[in-house]
Amino acid sequence: MGARGLKAVVVDDSGTKRPPLADPDRFDQARKTLVDGLKTHPVTSQGLPTYGTAILINIINEAGALPTKNFREGRFDGAEKISGETINAHCQERGGKYEHSCMTGCVVHCSNVYNDAAGHYLTSGLEYETVWALGANCLLDDIDAIAKMDRLCDDLGLDTIEMGDTFAVAMEGGLLPWGDGARMIELFEEIRANSELGRKLGNGCGQAARELGVTHVPTVKNQGMPAYDPRAIKGIGVTYATSTMGADHTSGYAVATNVLGVGGSVDPLKAEGQCILSKGLQEATAGLFASTGLCVFLAFACLDQPQSLASIPEMIGALYGREMSVADGVALGAQVLETERDFNKQAGFTEKDDRLPEFFSKETLPPHEALWDVPDDELNQVCGWSPVTELG
């Protein structure tokens, strides 16, 4: 839309009303149950508000799954310098904010307002995916430079994950040195100017790789991968491969169970159990979170607290005046995914598109020396290319 000169979409809500609730009291009780759960779970009431989503930098680095140097290593020596703990300290020292609400009504408050060393505003909020993509993935440990690039991405309408993957590929191809934050910022201005070089980078990771002749390209369905290496967190690898929109961590956040022990525990380094985990999370996410507009971070509490999870279909039921269970919500998610996959098939996608890049199964990832080894036939069952028989 931006390429066609569209500057804004304005919605005039004058004279409109909120949709009526069939059972307001029932809805309010379910809402209160969910809020109470969020305010008591340690992730949503303590970890995320204090350190933001970048609390994951040190956690995933310790797990050996923080993609570093264009997905060639699983740990980054400079992780502490770009961690949520460092961001929190800078916010306190420089007059920024943490425990910040990204939107009215949020009770998790995992956002932040990040200032430079002189106390001047740089960006909000500085998130885990952004810090990883423009930081560890590019061997950059300068958190202020990362914050400047986050602001540039906001200004230019660029996705920070995609741009981090793009710059890592560009570094792999020799366009600029590893960890050169100043040059990265200069190249953002090339994108702003729509120069020939700027177009090569601004069109994303896959396009940049083709332009530069790079074959080590972390994409699925031409979308750049987020901040978890699938060789060391195999549940999220299944989600990357089988998600309808390409590499997407939010459509089935298996990291919660693989690494954080939320909602159970499945060994992140083993293929067993990952497909059934990802499939269930994708269906629940589509039906109970994406379809309702609820933030996926609520899942941290919901996976551990049955009453919190049950409150979501209860709110839906109260809205429409019907009974609805968690199972009904998961079934709705399965229907949503079936519709999306049917769209993909009609658009020409095949089972070969529901795979990770080949290098993940051929190049071991330090420090675990892990390889991607989830069987293709199980991936086919997750995304509907063959009937579900028995998932490992």
**pLDDT digits 0-9 by tens, 250-306:** 999 999 999 999 999 999 999 999 999 999 999 999 999 999 999 999 999 999 999
Q: Are 228 and 218 in contact (CB under 8 A)?
A: no
Q: Look up the pTM and report it.
A: 0.94
Query: pLDDT for 331-390, tens place per residue?
Result: 999 999 999 999 999 999 999 999 999 999 999 999 999 999 999 999 999 998 888 776
Q: Residue 134: pLDDT above 80?
A: yes
From 217, 238, 255, the end of a domain falls on: 217
Inside any domain, residue 165: yes
Domain range for 128: 52-217
Inside any domain, residue 235: yes
Q: Are residues 175 and 233 in the same domain?
A: no
Q: What residues contact residue 233 under an 8 Å CB cut-off, 6+ apart? A: 60, 63, 65, 254, 255, 258, 259, 268
Query: pLDDT for 197-240, tens place per residue?
Result: 999 999 999 999 999 999 999 999 999 999 999 999 999 999 99
Q: Are residues 178 and 259 in the same domain?
A: no
Mean pLDDT of 8-15: 93
Inside any domain, residue 6: no
From 217, 250, 270, the end of a domain falls on: 217
Inside any domain, residue 12: no
Q: What is the band of 3 on the pLDDT scale with cuts at 50, 70, 90?
A: confident
Q: Are residues 308 and 213 in the same domain?
A: no
CATH number of the domain at 79, please.
Answer: 1.10.569.10
Q: Are residues 78 and 185 in the same domain?
A: yes
**To which residue do tokens 């390209």 refer?**
217
What is the pLDDT, as a whole number, of residue 392? Answer: 64
Q: Are residues 89 and 236 in the same domain?
A: no
Q: Are residues 356 and 321 in the same domain?
A: yes
Domains in the chain, number: 2
Distance CA 165, CA 137 (A): 7
Inside any domain, residue 4: no
CATH number of the domain at 336, please.
Answer: 1.10.599.10
Q: Are residues 35 and 107 in the same domain?
A: no
Query: pLDDT for 50-105, tens place per residue?
Result: 999 999 999 999 999 999 999 999 999 999 999 999 999 999 999 999 999 998 88
Q: Are residues 199 and 241 in the same domain?
A: no
The overall average pLDDT reported for the chain is: 96
Inside any domain, residue 15: no
Query: pLDDT for 152-198, tens place per residue?
Result: 999 999 999 999 999 999 999 999 999 999 999 999 999 999 999 99
Q: Are residues 265 and 359 in the same domain?
A: yes
What is the pLDDT, as a whole number, of residue 5? Answer: 86
Distance CA 143, CA 156 (A): 20
From 173, 190, 217, the end of a domain falls on: 217
Query: pLDDT for 316-325, tens place per residue?
Result: 999 999 999 9
Inside any domain, residue 8: no
